Structure 1
Amino acid sequence: MFHKILIANRGEIALRVIRACREMGIRSVIAHSEADRNSLPVRLADERICIGPGPSGKSYLNIPNIISAAFISKAEAIHPGYGFLSENTSFAEICNDVNITFIGPSASVMAVMGDKVSAREAMAAAGLPTLPGTPVLHTLVEAQEAAREIGFPLMLKAVAGGGGRGIRLITSPEEFDRTFVLAQNEVREAFHDDGIYLERYVAKARHIEIQVLVDQYGHGVHLGERNCSCQRRNQKVLEESPSPLLPRELCEEIGMKAIRAVQQVGYRNAGTLEFLVDEQNRYYFMEMNTRLQVEHPVTELVTSLDLVKEQVRIASGLPLQLRQQDVQLRGHAIECRITAEDASAGFRPQTGVVEQYLPPGGPGVRVDSHLFAGYEVPPHYDSLLAKLVVWAENRNEAIARMQRALDEFVIEGVATTIPFHQRLLNHEGFISGDTYTRFIQEEAVSLGI
């Protein structure tokens, strides 16, 4: 087992990893930016090293500085969290070259599964159904030809990256050229890769993902599914487990196929396979996230497992102690992403000082957050402030508990999405479980946005 782990991230996920390390008897080192010098993760880590100024390109994406911090602190491993360098193959390769363990899959497997086109090809070869789509496209001319073959409506997606960037629904040929150019410019700037692919559009699709764990010896399990269909601009805002309305037999089928597929490509550590499920319950592999995800707490609450600790154990070479029959889903969990955005003003990002902070409590309530009264929300990073997660014996009780927890949650000084989530949790479409990827967009008026 490792004696010291460097955390190359910030905010609530850095704090999450620090707490897991503390419970495992592992010393933690936080590599932080100047803007985060007074943050809670920096205060609570065993050691801290500043790796650059506020902008992420000069700090959390600065590979030489992060590797230097690992050497200076004598850390044996690096946990990348999510975002930033968590799916950067060059970073994983460099860690391997300098004998620092990257807590995640190997760079070679990450390169295959992190590229959405090659991941689709690999998973199709492993037996997972995929939607009709294209190879990587780099020019408008080849994209126009491919679009004619697939037909409209269709989805345009970036090969690299995530976070909803470069994803567009195109309903007619008339809007294709302009949308393609705009999306390609967006992903070129964000990911330094202008690769685009097209995929058949599925109306009223549910976004279902399967959490997997695979150890260094190829033994793996899936930990059930999460429903991530409540999205805004292709970014998840609420997740839950298990998925409402989907038959348990179907979820188990998808889960078993998913774990066999990732074992076939030699995947190791934690990962998530994402699927679209249509109105006839036909499912299609979309992509894989080769890292821990923001919504991992809902899986933890229904399985009573600690995914960060499992990641660390796998990376250290320990075998999984779980068999598939040991994984039992119990109860229902819901996560709301509380962000520094004003939903009434088009989800305009907010900065400023948190003047009051009072998280909710009581049975079955978990808050993953780095906030405190007096914390200054910086302008450089993602707007996530807290993840409010609840667990109850069934979905109706979980909804009632989340509604109660949202009513208790106090964050003053910056506008947040708490009021939006209160409306969402009371929407009859959400209560019935009949959500899909464009649900929030199509119900915008009733949700007050």
Structure 2
Amino acid sequence: MIIAIPFLLLFFLLMIGIPVAISLAISGAAGILIANGLDVLLGILSASPGSALTTYELLTVPMFILMAEFMGVSGITNSLFSAVSKWTQKINGGVGIAAVITGAAFGAISGSSTAAAATLGKISTPAMVEQGYTPKMAGSIAAISGTIAMLIPPSIALIFYGLLSGVSIGDLLIAGIVPGILVTLTIAITIKLLLLKNPVGKSEQTYSLKEKIASVKVAGPFILLFAIVTGLIYTGIATPVESSALGALGALLLALKSGNLGSKAFKQALINTSCISAMIGLIIVCAHIFGYFITMTGVTRNLVNYVGALDVSPYFVLFLLVILYLVLGLFLDLISILILTIPVVLPVVVALGFDPIWFGVIVILLSEIGIVTPPVGMNVFVVAKVADVPVRDLFSGVIPYILMLLGLISILIAFPEIVLWLPSTAMK
């Protein structure tokens, strides 16, 4: 009963719309109070902020957010979509594939799925509709392409998983590269398959090889930042924190070069970074309070012992966890899902013999599906607003992509070395 009350209180607070951070703090504090008394609770409340926010790797969060803010100011994303479209214009579905590639590139400097979806909704949906795509299909491509940012470094989702799990953030970021590429290919293949039945027109405008090669210059800043952020981590030259700082500096220089970074834009970038970082910091502190409750009551230890005593295949337990994450994705955002599940689930997964880095990638992939499924489906709501497409159409439009992504997840579960190969070759 001591364990049940805080969990029931947590779900009740979330259901009535209380922010996840406050819900975690209240329910965790209630559990500690019931289990250990007021003195222990006061001691934990006084120590939690300091212990939760002194993690060195936490510095990657504001640096990567600042990098994304500066890149947004530079306006390079619009140019990139135009450049990629020049190379894919003669392919059936070329504009849609260009949107997918742009989503992957935006993820390489953003790490935010919602920001990527909003940007793609603005710049790619009108271009696709002009080429004969239905608004439903154009909007669904923008919504699903935004999810790639959750895996491609610098993924805030993978960083948050690393902070909660204690797994190397550098290894997690590198592990997200190959699955991120595979997600990009999967979405592009799905577009081609959908267009076999309903082909769209091809662009009548032609570009010379010289013009196409010249357009590649636009990709230079993305390649540069990706090399700084991921290349330095992979080669062991810099830590994730150092790479994130260099990435933010590089984005600042590119924004200055673009001529769009005035004093007002610079100030707004700092304000946005501070607000988002403070929100994440508050969530981490409150998650620590709830984590103390879980540790004190032995929930994780008892669960590990219980699952270990079951006479079932580890893959059956993993199948149940996949279903759990898909269901949670229908109602909760990614950060809430990670906070609620990782402290309890990860020890069980490791005890069953699965790799925590691989599991983190699988969880993020499952969460990608959650942000395009009702009733939460944040990416769908964002694209519906910026592209003026009915939400109902978009939710039905993403179904084929969800089915294909589930197929990809099945492959990665069957062959975990696909995820683990690249981080295993990284220099430490």
Check whether TM > 0.5. no
Greater relative contact order, per chain length (Cα 8 Å cut-off, separation 6+): 2
Point out the structure with max Rg over C-alpha: 2
Q: Which has the higher helix share?
A: 2
TM-score w.r.t. structure 1 length?
A: 0.27
